[in-house]
């Protein structure tokens, strides 16, 4: 069974789905109410989470963030684009998980320069790909301008993920691995954090 389906059959997977959905939802709802924006672009601090949670919780984070995004949209910003928002918020953490673990093969999992460098590379690649897909969905299905939407989506997500997300990643990775607070097949059998 693929891990994206298997996660629904495991207690630990269900726990991480719920935790990631609730955390994401709370941050989304808070800032949907505050309406914090610069130059008409709504700021989304929740964008700091998809890559970090994706790396840590893989398939559970994919489901959790997809569900959390839909629930967040239901709090006041629901539109037909929310369907594509679910798909992108599902894909974004899962691709981050797969790519980061591929780059870390043969390396000790730790919040060192190599792990952080891989985090930033993964963030750049997955953010640009997923935000291009989101903007393309808006253009194809709702006649929204691709260029301006891609710029606002990518700029917002890159800013939060590269800065606040990197700090969260740096602070959490070693502790999460040591305490078994990770999930997904990519983590199974992997050597834990190198002793410091």
Which pLDDT belongs to residue 140?
95
What does the pLDDT read at residue 195?
45
36, 101, 121, 132, 162 from 55: Cα distances, Å:
28, 8, 13, 21, 14
The per-residue pLDDT for 36 is: 65
Q: For tokens 């299905």, what's the residue?
A: 141
In tens digits, what is the pLDDT along the chain, a chain of 196 residues? 799 999 999 999 999 999 999 999 999 888 776 666 665 556 789 999 999 999 999 999 999 999 999 998 887 778 889 999 999 999 999 999 999 999 999 999 999 999 999 999 999 999 999 999 999 999 999 999 999 999 989 999 999 999 999 999 999 999 999 999 999 999 986 755 544 4
The full set of domains in the chain, from first to last, is: 3-178 (1.10.1760.20)
Pairing mode, if any, of strands 41-42 and 37-38?
antiparallel
For the chain, strand residue ranges (E) read: 37-38, 41-42
pLDDT at 42: 63
Q: How many CB atoms lie within 10 A of CB 87?
A: 16
Rounded to whole angstroms, the Cα distance separating 48 from 162 reads 8
pLDDT of residue 194: 47
- Give the chain's largest Cα–Cα span: 53
In the prediction, which pLDDT does 31 show?
Answer: 77
165 φ, ψ to 5°?
-60, -40
Distances from the Cα of 84 to the Cα of 89, 142, 177, angstroms:
8, 11, 32
């Amino acid at each position: 069974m693929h891990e994206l389906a298997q996660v629904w059959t495991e207690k630990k997977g269900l726990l991480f789905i719920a935790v990631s959905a609730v955390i994401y939802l709370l941050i989304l709802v808070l800032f949907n109410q505050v309406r914090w924006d610069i130059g008409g672009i709504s700021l989304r601090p929740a964008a700091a989470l998809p890559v970090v949670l994706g790396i840590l919780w893989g398939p559970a984070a994919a489901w959790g963030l997809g569900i959390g995004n839909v629930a967040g949209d239901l709090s006041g910003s629901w539109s037909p684009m929310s369907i594509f928002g679910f798909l992108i918020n599902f894909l974004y953490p899962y691709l981050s998980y797969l790519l980061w673990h591929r780059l870390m093969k043969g390396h000790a999992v730790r919040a060192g320069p190599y792990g952080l460098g891989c985090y930033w590379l993964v963030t750049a690649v997955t953010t640009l790909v997923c935000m291009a897909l989101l903007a393309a969905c808006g253009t194809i299905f709702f006649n929204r301008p691709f260029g301006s939407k891609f710029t606002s989506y990518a700029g917002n997500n890159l800013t939060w993920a590269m800065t606040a997300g990197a700090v969260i990643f740096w602070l959490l990775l070693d502790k999460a691995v040591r305490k078994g607070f990770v999930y997904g097949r990519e983590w199974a059998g992997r050597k834990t954090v190198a002793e410091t």
